[in-house]
């Protein structure tokens, strides 16, 4: 029987039971990743949208693999925030450290302070046309939503998502997606899901909701990669100028409000971050 230490962490919040929960499994210095089937089983057992498996390769160097209950994904923003929050809690990394995170999406820099900030993969727009009428029909469901005069685009900062503008926060919170139809559309377009947003004039750059039923996640309360992609979208459309720090409020409709921070640098690179809160620690006996 093997024993692996695991953590349950709320990411993008400092409050217990807020933000987006993730599982984190530490494999230790030079540890060996379990086989893929076992990691998938662990993710399904923990039942969070993502579980990160972490191997330490050096004093400030780590390899992290991310599993949803349905599949492995290249990168997960909130599980990365959770991971490095755990490493900070355990004293494996200290405030002021700059770490290297090896992921399937590439090698990404992570800085540690009162909050964790992670470098995103180089942002890119994906030239894959989206049927706007079909998307709006899927996303509105039985509700009535209004759509601003902004384009729908697929953007990736490690994972591709459809950026879908909505007119107001009320319209955003009223979305009732057809999850089966959205999963099929996501499969056809090779995207993770839809990141819907409403630009506001309050303390936040935008209010957002994220839907990824193709990967077993009907809705997420905080999504680092998608908010990084949204930062790039807003810059492409001239709605923000570099350098700038953005604040996105996510999870309102789920009763788990999360604040996701992004930083857009002059060279177009994007960092995403926030705080985290450990709520449970235990051992997996497998």
Which active-site residues does the annotation give? Answer: 50
Helix (H) or strand (E) holding 240: none
* Sign of the four-CA dihedral 231, 49, 106, 129: negative
Structure tokens at 204: 């936040």
CB 168 within 8 A of CB 146: yes
Around Cβ 265, how many Cβ atoms within 10 Å?
A: 12
Structure tokens at 48: 């969070």
DSSP 252: G
Question: From start to end of the chain, where are the E strands?
Answer: 3-11, 20-29, 51-58, 61-67, 72-73, 98-103, 106-112, 116-119, 124-126, 153-156, 160-165, 193-199, 206-212, 217-220, 244-250, 258-264, 270-274, 276-285
């Amino acid at each position: 029987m093997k024993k692996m230490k695991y953590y349950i962490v709320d990411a993008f919040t400092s409050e217990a039971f807020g933000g987006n929960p993730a599982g984190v499994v530490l494999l230790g210095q030079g540890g060996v990743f379990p086989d893929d089937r076992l990691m998938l089983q662990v993710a399904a057992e923990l039942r969070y949208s993502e579980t990160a498996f972490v191997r330490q390769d050096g004093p400030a160097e780590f390899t992290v693999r991310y599993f949803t209950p349905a599949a492995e994904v290249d990168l997960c923003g909130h599980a990365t925030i959770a991971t490095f929050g755990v490493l900070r809690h355990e004293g494996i990394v200290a405030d002021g450290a700059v770490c290297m995170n090896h992921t399937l999406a590439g090698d990404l820099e992570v800085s540690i302070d009162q909050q964790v900030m992670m470098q995103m993969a180089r942002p890119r727009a994906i030239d894959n046309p989206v049927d706007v009428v079909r998307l709006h029909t899927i996303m509105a469901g039985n509700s009535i939503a209004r759509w601003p005069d902004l384009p729908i685009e697929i953007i990736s900062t490690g994972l591709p998502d459809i950026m879908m503008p909505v007119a107001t926060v009320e319209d955003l919170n009223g979305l009732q997606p057809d999850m089966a139809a959205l999963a099929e559309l996501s499969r056809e377009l090779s995207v993770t899901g839809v990141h819907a947003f409403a630009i506001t004039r309050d303390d936040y750059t935008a209010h957002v909701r994220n839907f990824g039923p193709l990967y077993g996640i009907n809705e997420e309360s905080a999504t680092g990669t998608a908010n990084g992609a949204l930062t790039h979208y807003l810059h492409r459309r001239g709605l923000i100028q570099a350098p700038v720090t953005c604040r996105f409020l996510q999870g309102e409709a789920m009763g788990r409000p999360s604040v996701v921070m992004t930083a857009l640098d002059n060279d177009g690179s994007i960092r995403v971050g926030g705080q985290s809160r450990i709520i449970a620690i235990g051992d997996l006996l497998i």
